Amino acid sequence: MQWAPFFFFSLLPFSSTFLAEAAGPCTAIKGANKGLVLGVYTTEKDEKAAQFTKAGDAFDRVVSGKLKELLSVSGPPLKKGKARIFHSLHQNFSSVVVVGLGKKGAGVNEQENWNEDKENIRAAVAAGCRQVQDLEFPYVEVDPCGDPQAAAEGAILGLYEYDEFKQKKKPAIEVQLHGSDGVEAWQKGLSYAQGQNLARTLMEGPANHITPTRFAAVIEEKLRSASSNVTVHIRDRAWIEAQEMRSFLSVAKGSEEPPVFLEIHYHGSNDAKEAPLVFVGKGITFDSGGISIKPASGMDAMRADMGGAATISSAIVTAAQLKLPINLIGLAPLCENLPSGKANKPGDVVKARNGKTIQIDNTDAEGRLVLADALDYAHSFNPRAIIDAATLTGAMDVALGSAATGVFTNSHQLWNQLFEASIVTGDRVWRMPLYEHYTKQVTESQLADLNNIGKYRSGGACTAAAFLKEFVTAPHWAHLDIAGVMENKDEVPYLRKGMAGRPTRTLVEFATRLSQDKKSI
């Protein structure tokens, strides 16, 4: 084996346009066009000394210490989340990318409410894989970095970019585990990340392509390929009318696209009678605001107003792929919110499935109208718990930005489980209040039992949650307002700019934990 003294390094990850495919442990592929990503820690005693991971140390021994030597002379100590690339070190790899993992054993950061080691691995691996992606190599092997699941998530999430309608596409890059340690955890990480990427794909899809009908068809196809233990019902307008979901239908009537009520069942528990966990997702495949029309600027992003439906459906697809021993039900009222001669008008009154009447004073507060009927229907299944997810309010974005999903819940046990799950995934949640103070603002209505907007502009996310609470009697319910985490600009380093698909992985981790703890809720 010969070693070439030439090397090249970069501190910034590159961008690209092609998708990542996932694979299990690698089989040796010799020759050019294959990259290797290896991790290195920051050491407190000697910042200039590289402390490689187990895989990094093994590789450095194979190349007679040349990697450590090159790293030491290539510049200042490698900071976390940054990458440097070296060429011609080994016959099996055209390039080796070393990525900064930060301090070893950082653990859970209680101030940040996440596991810092896992987040550092995700960010570093994503940066390294993008370097390989920029070289247009068809393969990359990834160091498990002590946490194969986090490494797999970083790779698959970091390489994803939506390019379905672009003519110029680059070939996919196959991601492989370097070595054979942690295969099961690696596969779990691939499933988690692919689930989030499914949600991202649905959310990015143009509204003329991801219609209510098409959305339901995509999820049905994914579920049927994931598991045989699934039942999918694509309910039409006649069924919706028979269920007296007038609140949902009032939003749908403004569009020519027919509404769909998607109902999916995953039967994972050995006990067929075990109470299911029910996920409910807002499915507005395009939201113009209706008669209370939104400003034109930025309205294109409202193709992702079905983010709640996308994340809960993708979470169930992932649970089915993982064969989680739990019963799950997903409910997604799907429609468009458009202005027309048939659309809701400010001041209209409709009756929901549970008999309560609603005064619609703002047609752009439509998400709560479609969720109201879906939440009431969710009680039909005697649920273990109900969780709804929705890009519901701009006020949530103002309150928390993209740092965390806002959670409103009537259950401390449910909150604790969601919170613990989010620490593991790094896709954080933050509890918000459900005070009677907010309930009064939506129940004091001039014409009906409820008003779809609060009396005051303040606390918009809270009054929206209070409105939904009027359709819930279950003792364990949580409402996730995901408006603030709908898109990613540059806040999450292992996600490119675009629709984020958050918090899919947190929902999957939550379901995983409930499947293992039958008594917690």
For residues 205 and 489, give the distance between their C-alpha atoms in angstroms, rounded to a whole number.
18
For residues 508 and 204, give the distance between their C-alpha atoms in angstroms, rounded to a whole number.
21
Q: Which two tokens stand for residue 382?
A: 């005697």
CB of 393 closer than 8 Å to CB of 271: no
Mapped onto helix, strand or coil, the DSSP state of residue 340 is: coil
79 is catalytic: no
**DSSP string for 353-405:** TTS-EEEES-TT--HHHHHHHHHHHHGGG--SEEEEEE---HHHHHHHTTS-E
Write the secondary structure of 215-240 as one string of H (helix), E (strand) and C (coil).
HHHHHHHHHHHHCCCEEEEEECHHHH
CB of 204 closer than 8 Å to CB of 307: no
Picking from 480, 475, 476, 378, the residue whose alpha carbon sits closest to that of residue 427 is 480
Q: At 409, which helix (H) or strand (E)?
A: strand 405-409
Mapped onto helix, strand or coil, the DSSP state of residue 69 is: helix
294 is catalytic: yes
Angle at 149 between CA 144 and CA 151, to 5 degrees: 45
The sign of the CA dihedral 268, 269, 271, 275 is negative
Q: Which two tokens stand for residue 402?
A: 């993209």
CB of 260 closer than 8 Å to CB of 234: yes
| 11-to-57, 78, 506 alpha-carbon distances in Å | 22, 8, 30
Question: Which residue among 294, 356, 431, 518 is the active-site one?
Answer: 294
Question: Which residue among 353, 368, 502, 513 is the active-site one?
Answer: 368
Distance, CA of 174 to chain centre:
22
For residues 443 and 453, give the distance between their C-alpha atoms in angstroms, rounded to a whole number.
10
For residues 22 and 19, give the distance between their C-alpha atoms in angstroms, rounded to a whole number.
10
Query: What are the catalytic residues?
Result: 294, 368
